[in-house]
Amino acid sequence: MAEAAAKSKKDLDFNQIREQFPVLEQQVNGQPLVYLDNAASSQMPARVADRIHAYHKNEHANVHRGIHTLSQKATDAYELTRKKVQDFINAQHKDEIIYTTGTTDAINLVANSFGEQFINEGDKILLSEIEHHANIVPWQMIAKRKGAEIRVIPVDDNGDIIWDKFLELLSDDTAILAIGHVSNALGTVHPIKKMIAKAHKQDIPVLVDGAQAVPHTTVDVRDLDADFYAFSAHKMCGPTGFGILYGKKKYLDEMPPYRGGGDMIDKVSFEKTTYNITPHKFEAGTPPIAAGIGFGETISFLNEVGMKNIAQYEHELLEYGTSLLQNIDGIRIIGTAKEKASVLSFVHEDIHATDIGTILDQQGIAIRTGHHCAQPTMRRFDVSATARASLSFYNTKEDIDRLVVGIEKAISIFE
């Protein structure tokens, strides 16, 4: 994988890295911005925004269709991102990288295309109890259409998969296991590699929703042996409207196209249409070219910082934040799994999450409140909403200190 250029963590100055994010220099409500909503969307370094602007300013043309210089230049830059993604997640073939508009689009693609080809009446679709809606609703839709059944793997009070229940639910009629790598609402890191190995022993393919994992740790799809892996650019310092579906060729080549239109075709007549090869048969129409090119720059930036360095630094922040929040009277952290990513989801015994978020915003502190597109997770933990502070490598311990002071002020207001 392409991390050779990364420095070791001890040689990195994360304050200097932070300076590459201009948005963090502003004030909100008269206070320096503390941005702790990274699980929803992370911020973009200046060099990525500059690369997108350079395309619009100097290279704007459609891709794949033109023989003129600008089109060729745009196509080369756009397709270079595919190679960068292949290296970043250690895919075996560049053709296993499909461009989508994001994780949601990628999961919908698999649910519809894989589902159309491989899911039959009476089959089981296996999900966990703490999935994002994007990894629930598409499967419900295909299950209804094909006469399949959703089965749910329960989690314990910490937010960890109940392993024995998972094993019990694996069956010969399970068509697919669709599982989040990291819970967006709790930060739980599922034992994905072990789960995939168990599923594969029964020839069950696995889709992994990696939206909350790829921004925070090294992901090697061949080491995991994932059949499908989906993630979004905007959660990893990239542009909105762009994402990736990795899929093994043995499935992609058998799956029908998800959408019809230009660029996904081979020959078209009113009598019959034949389709392009993988991955292009899944990429109908003019794509988000600027976002795709910008995402290539994002990957170069992340490689230079080093995903292992990011994981280590964010783990230090998570431990620091956890220790402080645990000592605030009335605060309860929701999601205490042994393996966690950079999410601090919490409730106060007397104050609604929305009120906490509003008071924090008045102090320039941005968090997310609500059900986090994970209503079944909220029901599992018997809460209507949580306040969620989610960390990135441009955050600091001072940001967490500000968060704690802000929460204590909110509590004092309601006393």
Q: List residues with catalytic annotation.
A: 373
DSSP code per residue over 255-291: SPPSS-STTSEEEE-SS-EEEPPTTGGG--SS--HHH
Across-strand partners of 208?
179, 229
Q: Is there a contact between 107 and 238 (Cβ–Cβ < 8 Å)?
A: no
Query: What's the CA gap between 8 and 211, in Å, rounded?
Result: 25
240: CB partners within 8 A, 6+ apart: 41, 102, 233, 234, 291
Strand residue runs (E) in 6-139: 27-28, 31-32, 34-35, 97-100, 124-128
Query: What's the CA gap between 378 and 369, in Å, rounded?
Result: 12
Coil, helix or strand at residue 253: coil
DSSP code per residue over 173-223: TEEEEEEESB-TTT-BB--HHHHHHHHHTTT--EEEE-TTTTTTS---HHH
Query: Pick from 393, 386, 270, 408: which is nearest to 341 by CA?
Result: 393
Q: Is there a contact between 16 and 366 (Cβ–Cβ < 8 Å)?
A: no
**Phi, psi angles (nearest 5°) of residue 192:** -60, -45
Q: Which amino acid is at 298?
A: T
Mode of pairing for the β-strands spanning 97-100 and 243-247: antiparallel
